[in-house]
Amino acid sequence: MSQSDAHIVILGAGHAGGTAAALLRQYGHTGLITLVGEEPVPPYQRPPLSKAWLKGEADADSLALKPLEFYAENNIDFRPNVRAEKLARSDKTVTLSNGETLSYDLLIIATGMRPIRLPIEGADLGGVLTLRSAADAEAIKAALGPGKRLVIVGGGYIGLEVAASARALGAEAIVLEREARILARSACEPLSNFFRDYHISRGVEFVLGAGVSGFIGEGGHVTGVRLADGRVIACDVVLLGVGATPNDEIARDAGLECARGIVVNLEARTADPSVFAIGDVTHRPMPHYDRMFGPESVPSALEQAKQAASAITGRAAPAPEVPWNWSDQYDLKLQIAGLPFDADRVLLRGDPATAKFAVFHLKGDQVQAVEAINSPPEFMMGKQLIANRKPVNLDRLADTSVSMKEVAA
Amino acid sequence: MAKITYIEHDGTEHVIDVKNGLTVMEGAVKNNVPGIDADCGGACACATCHVYVDAAWQDKTGSTSAMEDSMLDFAENVEPNSRLSCQIKVSDALDGLVVRMPESQH
């Protein structure tokens, strides 16, 4: 049997798995593709869940990567409401939660991540929610509205996006952050201060350095959050936004190497030549930074879907992409290119007071990463500078009267 | 509804009926037309849905926002008729629209 007739089983029907299935068909794979998903709906975009979806500006159809009929029309056997439970690599089978066993020629694991639930008192109360799926977003939407009080545990991007959406819906939003500043793990100090102030000006409250000791409730539903110092913050609903953990157990149990996620190469292939892994569940090479990492982003998932589909169909490997991501809050568009690995200084271009500025992370005179607020030129040119590792003049980079094209010239 | 012709860089044509209210980008992506990546899903954040709008249609596809202009200014292979297809809303007025794809979106 030639590779193009291979039966490809994709575990996980998220952004990564759905894109891999579609690209395999675009790239000419003719064999059966089985797409196994835990959710009731075909693959959809998750990023809008905390933004447009929550505010009622997007619906299920608009979020769907492809219409449902696409899968049957393209000989993609989409299996909703089922999850893979066991991988037996020696006989190339996967056992599903409905008891069925699937044989594969090639396997793509795209099982993503799940939100971390704090192991503290009351975490199982009704109204203590997380956000990963459309069903999660639906539950949050149903709980929000004018006068409702939402407590967000964790000042990360998901929490901040939901805070902005909650304000748009007329709800109160209180963000509790364990660290001394929000976005402590993902953004530099000038940026986290900027976001804090911007949210405060739109009515969001912050409690920083706040340890959460438990949730209190009545009749099985949350009514408040208890802090480590004994304070209780009353609320109608809680969103836990304290990070996510890769759903890599199926690979671990099958003896595949895992770090924080399944270890893959630039073909998105594991050490088992028949098993690929893509998306948030992976620990992947970052060629621009000579290390392994899990970027937890849609662009990375799409790049890996391309890598796997190219390797499987014999296409040339796609050129490595500079990692990037974005966040929309109120009228702010944050675009991030690169990762601040090995950076030895931070350079501010523009004035945060104008809500239009960029923070460059530099290693010597090379750009490692840029966080750009309402500043597409800094993002786009920063991305190119990261890709070509061209040294920049730091004085000119800090001077907004010198255009980004001139800086990079 | 508008009939839109998407032409890949290699000349392959895809004629698609796209519902009003969708964007030109969505019309391509939801029908698995190759050549429009749209990594950000239409947030005007990535410039990977770049197309060239045939001259006859430039006026009808509307004007560009400051954000779109700014993103396009730094994209690869930009021409005067370049647009980000996530920013073009489909309506009956676009029936017959022809867009061409660049060699690469990355």
| pLDDT tens, residue by residue, A90-119 | 999 999 999 999 999 999 999 999 999 999
pLDDT score for B59: 92
Q: Which residues of A touch B (CB under 8 A)?
A: 22, 25-26, 45, 47-48, 62, 64-67, 70, 74, 298-299, 302, 318-319, 321, 324, 326, 328, 333, 335, 376-377, 380-381, 384, 404
pLDDT score for B76: 87
Task: Note the pLDDT tens digit of each residue in A317-333.
Answer: 999 999 999 999 999 99
The arithmetic mean of pLDDT across residues A37-47, rounded, is: 97
> Given an 8 Å threshold on Cβ–Cβ distance, is A62 in contact with B40?
no
Residue A59: pLDDT band (50, 70, 90) is: confident
Task: Note the pLDDT tens digit of each residue in A62-80.
Answer: 899 999 999 999 999 999 9
Alpha-carbon Rg for chain B, nearest whole angstrom, is 12
DSSP string, A286-349: ETTTTEEE---SHHHHHHHHHHHHHHHHTPPPPPPPPPEEEEEETTEEEEEEE--TT--EEEEE
Distance of alpha carbon A131 from alpha carbon A115, whole angstroms:
7
CA dihedral for A400, B83, A298, B91, sign (positive or negative): positive
The arithmetic mean of pLDDT across residues A378-392, rounded, is: 96
Residue A185: pLDDT band (50, 70, 90) is: confident
Q: In A128-273, which ranges are E strands?
A: 128-129, 149-153, 172-177, 205-208, 212-218, 221-227, 232-234, 237-240, 244-246, 258-259, 261-263
Task: Note the pLDDT tens digit of each residue in B49-106.
Answer: 999 999 899 999 998 999 999 999 998 899 999 999 999 999 999 999 999 999 988 8
Q: Nearest by CB to A48, which of B41, B44, B71?
A: B41
Interchain CB contacts (distance < 8 Å): A and B: 61
Distance of alpha carbon A317 from alpha carbon A309, whole angstroms:
9
Residue A201 pLDDT greater than 90, yes or no: yes
Of A46, A54, A60, A214, the residue nearest A143 (C-alpha)? A54
DSSP-derived 3-state class of residue B45 = coil
Site of tokens 């021409």: B79
DSSP-derived 3-state class of residue B96 = coil
Residue A60: pLDDT band (50, 70, 90) is: confident
Written as six digits, the tokens of B31 are 């029908």
B-chain CB neighbours of A16 within 8 Å are none
The arithmetic mean of pLDDT across residues A352-361, rounded, is: 96
A-chain CB neighbours of B87 within 8 Å are none
DSSP string, A237-260: EEEE-S-EEE--HHHHHTT--EES
Distance of alpha carbon B68 from alpha carbon B45, whole angstroms:
9
CA neighbours closer than 13 Å in the CB half-sphere of residue A119 = 0
Hey, of B16, B39, B49, B65, which one would you mutate to test binding to chain A, going by the most A CBs within 10 A of its CB?
B39
B-chain CB neighbours of A404 within 8 Å are 74
Instruction: Say which amino acid occupies A75.
Output: N
CA distance A386 to chain B (A): 14
Which run of H or E residues covers position A351?
A: strand A345-351
DSSP-derived 3-state class of residue A93 = strand
Task: Note the pLDDT tens digit of each residue in A276-314.
Answer: 999 999 999 999 999 999 999 999 999 999 999 999 999
Q: Cα–Cα distances in Å, from A320 out to A8, A65, A299, A317, A371?
A: 24, 23, 12, 9, 20
Written as six digits, the tokens of A78 are 């989409």
Site of tokens 């089922």: A82
Alpha helices, DSSP H only, in chain B?
A: 24-29, 66-73
> Given an 8 Å threshold on Cβ–Cβ distance, is B43 in contact with A324?
no
Distance of alpha carbon B65 from alpha carbon B87, whole angstroms:
9
- Other C-beta atoms closer than 10 Å to the C-beta of A173 total 27
Q: Cα–Cα distances in Å, from B67 out to A331, B15, B43, B59?
A: 12, 29, 10, 19
Do B85 and B44 form a contact (C-beta atoms < 8 A)? no
Q: Which residues of B touch A (CB under 8 A)?
A: 22, 26, 29-32, 34, 37, 39-41, 43-47, 67, 70-71, 73-75, 106
pLDDT score for A2: 60
Q: Nearest by CB to B41, which of A45, A74, A321?
A: A45
Task: Note the pLDDT tens digit of each residue in B25-46.
Answer: 999 999 999 999 999 999 999 9
Distance of alpha carbon A62 from alpha carbon A57, whole angstroms:
10
Instruction: Supply the pTM of this predicted model.
Output: 0.96
> Given an 8 Å threshold on Cβ–Cβ distance, is B34 in contact with A335?
no
Written as six digits, the tokens of A206 are 């912050």
Q: For residue B106, what is the nearest residue in chain A, using CA coordinates?
A: A321
Written as six digits, the tokens of B78 are 């930009």
Distance of alpha carbon B63 from alpha carbon B61, whole angstroms:
7
- In percent, how much of chain A has pLDDT > 70? 100
Do A247 and A271 form a contact (C-beta atoms < 8 A)? no
- In percent, how much of chain A has pLDDT > 90? 95
Strand partners, B50: B84
Residue A1 pLDDT greater than 60, yes or no: no
